[in-house]
Amino acid sequence: MARRLRVPFVFEVRDLWPQTLVDLGRLQEQNLITKVLRKLEKWLYVRADRIVVLLPQADEYIVPLGVPKRKIVWIPNGVELEGYPEPTQPLIHDGFTLMYFGAHGQANGLDCVLRAMAELQERPDMRHVRLRMIGDGPLKPSLLKLAEELQLRNVEFADPVPKREIPAVAAEADAFVFNLIDAPVFQYGISSNKLFDFLAGARPIIFCCKSSNNPVADAHAGITVLPGDPLALSQAIATLATMPAGDRNEMGRAGRAYVERNHSFDSLAARFAAMLKELVAEYR
């Protein structure tokens, strides 16, 4: 279509297909569908004039396929900050609310979060800590079953909320938890919408993920632990829960400032527009 109209072809890559499906075990490398998708992705990469990627190290995956690095432009996901009010401190109360909202799927590894809460439930000094898990997904029934098996009294499951209501819900948290399984595809980085929502919510974040980039560490906005280790995750939760409120607020403000600088829609749109302007100039 682009060649017929004599205009540049910009290809946006939101996930590395089929590599993500292979790394998550949903496709086998020798599967016919995988082979077809491999040919299709290379065909698109080669013919695109620009490839816009969300993952910061996606070029390490794409360049070996015979694609010049100059064609690849990194523009990550972002957040609509107008929906979030100016950062405010959490209300003072006796409890500590850890919050997760988003998909309940294979990649999220939320069973690890539940097992961490089981560890905390055994600690008398952590009985004020509660986890709110908001959202839905294919693994939610099994997560509900696991919570019942672990006899968790410190976890509350809730239905998804509309996108416009997320800022108000996020304001009810004392901290957020971001969790992903340890999968090879994350070596190319992550660009998760919910992580930027967490940062915009101005609360500290526990980043439980092994990826090549770590926005939480870059922003000094929380604590990082390796995935798949419930004990380490429970210790990180306990650290935040016992931290002076002023220190937690400082982390939250740092996260908000980071997302304002790097992931507001205004700044990302400016980068996209600059890429298009440069491409059009080359195409003439």
Judge if 93 and 223 occupy the same domain.
Answer: yes
Judge if 98 and 61 occupy the same domain.
Answer: no
Judge if 144 and 17 occupy the same domain.
Answer: no
- Residue-averaged pLDDT of the chain: 92
pLDDT band at 165 (very low <50, low <70, confident <90, very high): very high
Judge if 96 and 192 occupy the same domain.
Answer: yes
Judge if 191 and 247 occupy the same domain.
Answer: yes
Judge if 115 and 37 occupy the same domain.
Answer: no
Cβ 23 vs Cβ 154: under 8 Å = no
Judge if 104 and 57 occupy the same domain.
Answer: no
Write the CATH number for 121.
Answer: 3.40.50.2000
pLDDT at 137: 96
Residue 233 lies in domain: 81-259
Task: Please compute the mean of the pLDDT values over residues 232-255 and round it to a whole number.
Answer: 96
The domain total for the chain is 2
- Distance separating alpha carbons of residues 155 and 234, to the nearest angstrom: 13
pTM for the whole thing?
Answer: 0.90
The residues, ordered by sequence, that sit 6+ positions from 185 with a Cβ below 8 Å of its Cβ are 16, 19, 20, 23, 24
Judge if 110 and 214 occupy the same domain.
Answer: yes
Q: For residue range 54-74, list pLDDT tens digits in order.
A: 999 999 999 999 999 999 999
Q: For residue range 186-196, list pLDDT tens digits in order.
A: 999 999 999 99
Q: Report phi then psi at 54, rounded to 5.
A: -90, -25
